[in-house]
Structures are given as structure tokens and as C-alpha cells.
Amino acid sequence: MKTSKPLFYFVHLFFVHLLTASCVYANTGTVDCENAAAAKGYAATFSTLVKAETDKYKAREKERQQVFEAHQSRLIAAGIWKQPEDGKAFIANVLATTPELKALEEKRIKTTKEIQTLKLTILGLDFMSGGDKQAEQRGTCIFGQQLMAQLAVNDDVAENSWKWVNQQAEALLKEKSAK
């Protein structure tokens, strides 16, 4: 596919603007993306870093869900809930009625959108850099660190959300068992 010069110029200018706007972040991150060797090294390991973080998140999320499932089993055994679907309704109710959880859900939605935007940006770096490998590596370094930071925020939000839900489930079990 042949790209017109004005389109190429616009995309390249947009890419340069994104990198310039991100310089503040690059200078505060753990990798100095202004250093070509450091940016190249980060870009080379970026896919591995994302996969490792994603795998860790999935494992932690499974553990969090298992804690809730244990509460759910106890609630069903105590006759408070009749079926596992009651747990889903409980989560929806807690989410709808707890201001703290509403705030966490809003933060999760915002973070998820930022993660998607960063993923798309990173995927487009090859095109936006106009074939300049150093610019692509620097972009991967800058946006990759931002992506990793957002993944950490997303994990923290999930941890806090499950903590709230599990505390509410424990409280319900104690309340109903005491009667």
C-alpha cells in the first residue's frame, strides 16, 4: 500500500508530537528512554514483560475469585444463598450500592480505556515512526512504561474491588449466621 506524502508527514508529525508530550514521563520512568541503548533494550524485552505481567494478573485474579467462591460456598451451605447465581447478584448489588466500589469501577473503566489506547499506540509505532527503528524503540520504551504502570493500577483496582466484595460477603455470613 502506497502512502501519500501528506499523510506520511501528518502521521510522522503526530508521532513526534506524542513522543514530545511523553518526554516528561520518559524522564521519570525506570528506563531512560532518551538513551538509545536503554530504549532498545526495553523494546526488545517489552513483549516478555507484558506477557509476564498479564500472567501474574490472571493468577492473582483467579486467587481473588477463589476467595469469593469459598465465601459463596459457605453462604450456600448455610442456606443464605440457594445457588451460585446468587453470588453474581450479590456482586452486582454491592457494586451498585457501595460508593467506594462505584469509584473503583469508574477507575477500572478509565484505566482499561487507557490500556487499550496505549496498546493501539504501541501497535502503530512501526507505521508512525516511518521506519525509524530508534524512534520506534523509544516510543515502545515510553508508551510501554506507561502501559505497565496502567496494568499495575488495574491490578490494584481489582485487588481493592475483590477485597470490598469479600468483606461484604463475610459480613453477610456473620450477620445471617448470628440470627
Whether the predicted pLDDT of 27 surpasses 90: no
Question: pLDDT grade, residue 31 (50/70/90)?
Answer: very high
The amino acid occupying position 77 is A
Whether the predicted pLDDT of 17 surpasses 80: no
Contacts by 105-110, CB closer than 8 A, 24 or more apart: 105/161, 107/153, 107/157, 108/154, 108/157, 108/158, 108/161
Whether the predicted pLDDT of 1 surpasses 50: no
Q: CA-to-CA distance for 162 and 144, rounded, in angstroms?
A: 27
For the record, the C-alpha cell of 76 comes out as 450456600
What is the maximum span of the chain, computed from C-alpha positions, in angstroms?
Answer: 76
For the record, the C-alpha cell of 85 comes out as 447465581
What local confidence, expressed as pLDDT, does residue 177 receive?
Answer: 79
Q: In whole angstroms, how far apart are CA 59 and each of 34, 63, 70, 105?
A: 34, 6, 17, 20
Whether the predicted pLDDT of 20 surpasses 80: no
Section 131-144 average pLDDT: 95
Q: Tell me which of 2-6, 81-85, 135-139 is least confident.
A: 2-6
pLDDT one-digit tens code per residue, 42-93: 999 999 999 999 999 999 999 999 999 999 999 999 999 999 899 999 999 9
For the record, the C-alpha cell of 125 comes out as 509505532
What local confidence, expressed as pLDDT, does residue 178 receive?
Answer: 65
Where exactly are the structural domains of the chain? 36-178
How many helices and strands in the chain, by DSSP H and E?
A: 7, 0
Of the candidates 106, 143, 111, the residue with the CA atom closest to the CA atom of residue 126: 143
What local confidence, expressed as pLDDT, does residue 148 receive?
Answer: 96
**CB proximity list for 142: less than 8 A, separation 6 or greater:** 19, 22, 23, 25, 26, 29, 33
What local confidence, expressed as pLDDT, does residue 176 receive?
Answer: 83
DSSP code, position 2: P
Section 1-8 average pLDDT: 46
**CB proximity list for 12: less than 8 A, separation 6 or greater:** 128, 129, 130
